[in-house]
A and B are shown apart, each in its own frame.
Chain A
């Protein structure tokens, strides 16, 4: 691990922006969102997590899959993104979410070309969480921590006046080489005498970096520590008919906030938009919370009421997905916890199902 001075952060971001299309957290009308930026000035560093998750960089809400031409010149042209992108500031929960979505889009017999292409083109610069939100963050419930770097190409660990920079992949190294190539930004060593920080005091550079990392890996996340899921998936095998689902679902508004803010929800519908001379096939987000989500031609709806739809969302994440892929489909990012208008969120439901208190 090496050391980036905080005062050099803007210059570092400027270099990232000149190396590739840079997407980073910005504050817009008081809301933090990932946006393409052209300079380091626009980027905010004092954020918990952008309200819209990082998934949309890889799985956009509306994606053109291909264009088609009508007969007699019938043909299909795939539409493929081709821009090298750097996503800066992605948090451990969203990194974990991308790896869960890799299971879905890349893991089986079928490889999703759109998802794969965007994953290949994007270098991920992760940011460890200095200050998780105590009322909503619960990553530790699923074994993720404020310092979990899995999936990042480069991980940054804030340490007061500086940030620890850890390169995790060759792609990350290539990006860093480009950023540092003209010498305008330089990284220092952590730990040698003179480096003023608790993490850096004493010991070799490697040791000090490890200590900083360890500190993040062990950082408490109060809500998550209380909600550790353990064997919940197994317990839920027998709770499909639990009266809880009907009870809880009564307060659901039937909106899509939870699914659309969720970094792991990935349902979509495919629709053709024909124009006069050509047309496009689109893939658009859809939500299992919408009442017409499973509506069939002929009028049958296998999930006719809020009970079935609420159960589906939570059982999918806490049981079905675990059976299929061996992992929970939630990373404790806390977006649903923060934004569900009626408190029917993942933290609440886990607490209710396990009979533990969610109050922190």
Chain B
């Protein structure tokens, strides 16, 4: 059965469960290089992906010993950004290696720009990425677990116990991948796998923002009331966000209590708007907040709305790039509004 599933090209391999599926060529190269880095003492830890419960899921994997590198995988489902884990590694000496796609590299740069991660203590291993599949979207269609998954002729081929299901791959990619301008991360320390051919990235047209704007004031209020009423205040959106790296989050401070522990619709607005404004101009547009939200709150609509404002008001062309200026976080004496 596994023989029917082949990699689309050399860039994206067929992932699988540890020890059962065929690991991609890139996965092998990665495991080998990481094993070498750990054995040679160039890094004390490596952050990559390991197999998850089904073929659609991967897990962040912290590799501490050279022999652990064999458990690393690289496939179509490696969605989670690993950059944020570096905040846990600030105390200990020595470099940490981390696998980055282009989107993850932006997250990395964000943490470096915010002085939360020391670039010199990180070894970036880049990997070309042809797009990551939204596992949740696929799982919603299936009752049986996917035991093997891969890509063939632009189709996502999913093997379940009772048969094979094919889906148009592009429709199941994470939204961020459709806008990806360069599938190959630059300025990294090491690359694994071949260059991935770029595709025609869709420009950000802010259609999702326009859709909400068109609802009118009352419609918008009803829309967000309903979304925020589902919010658990679990803080997963914050914890996964590369622009949320404060040592102490103001939303958790008791004195003064900016965010009461009470969960009501008005406090939910306070929470989500505070967060959206705090990351405005610094959001790297990775969409991780929305991806991990267990109750599907469309958080990127808030982030995108602010992104659009920042483009229009301050002329920042690509506010999601950490190299761009941050109009909400800077001061100039020649500010026309300066008093």
- Chain A interface (Cβ < 8 Å from any Cβ of B): 28-31, 33, 51-52, 61-62, 131, 133-135, 247, 250-251, 253-257, 259-261, 269, 271, 273, 282, 284-287, 290, 292, 306, 335, 337, 339, 341-344, 347-348, 358-360
Contacts and interface: CB of A to CB of B under 8 A. Distances in A.
Given A282-B261, A284-B263, A256 B236 contact: yes
Given A273-B260, A342-B80, A253 B239 contact: yes
Contact of A257 (B54, B60, B294): B294
Given A29-B296, A135-B145, A261-B232, A251 B226 contact: no
Interface residues of B, number: 42
B134 to A, nearest CB: 13
8 contacts: A29-B227, A62-B263, A250-B88, A251-B59, A256-B233, A260-B234, A261-B232, A290-B252
B35 to A, nearest CB: 18
B57 interface: yes
Taking chain B's interface residues, is the majority helix, strand, or loop, or is none over half, making it mixed? loop
Interface of B: 17, 20, 52-54, 57, 59-62, 80, 84-85, 88, 139, 143-145, 147, 226-227, 230, 232-236, 238-240, 252, 260-264, 291-292, 294-296, 298
Given A29-B227, A135-B145, A256 B234 contact: yes
Contacts of A360: 54, 145
Contact of B236 (A31, A131, A134, A341): A341
A17 B17 CA distance: 47
Nearest to A287: B234
A52 B88 contact: no
A256 B235 contact: yes
Contact of B143 (A134, A259, A261): A134
A347 B59 CA distance: 14
Contact of B230 (A28, A259, A286): A28
Contact of A343 (B57, B88, B232, B292): B57
Closest 8 A/B residue pairs (Cβ): A255-B236, A256-B234, A343-B59, A339-B294, A341-B292, A284-B261, A135-B145, A260-B232
B292 to A, nearest CB: 4
B9 to A, nearest CB: 27
Contact of B17 (A284, A341, A343, A359): A359
Contacts of A359: 17, 20, 53-54, 145, 147
Contact of A33 (B84, B139, B230, B240): B230
